[in-house]
């Protein structure tokens, strides 16, 4: 699993972006990708681990799946 921190949350739309430790750009995630956490539990700057969707890029760039609070 990749590791990163929550860079930006858009709570009213249910998505956010993760700044990955080993990635050049941000990774998009939707609240439906959260595992064992609620969107309301997340805060900007919080450490998370995640998988990157093997299907490629979504509309907003790489998409994170299985997002977990570290």
Averaged confidence pLDDT in the chain: 88
What local confidence, expressed as pLDDT, does residue 25 receive? 81
pLDDT-derived band at 55, boundaries 50, 70, 90? low
pLDDT 10s digits, 11-37: 899 999 999 988 678 999 999 999 988
Domain positions in the chain = 2-44+52-69
Record: fold of 2-44+52-69: OB fold (Dihydrolipoamide Acetyltransferase, E2P) (2.40.50)
Write a three-state SS string for the chain.
Answer: CEEEEEEEEECCCCEEEEEECCCCCEEEEEHHHECCCCHHHCCCCCEEEEEEEEEEEECCEEEEEEEEEC
């Amino acid at each position: 699993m990749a590791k990163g921190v929550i860079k930006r949350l858009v709570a009213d739309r249910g998505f956010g972006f993760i700044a990955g430790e080993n990635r050049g750009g941000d990774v998009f995630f939707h609240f439906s990708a959260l595992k064992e956490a609620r969107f309301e539990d997340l805060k900007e700057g919080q450490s998370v681990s995640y998988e990157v969707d093997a299907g490629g890029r979504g509309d907003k760039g790489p998409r994170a799946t299985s997002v977990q609070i570290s």
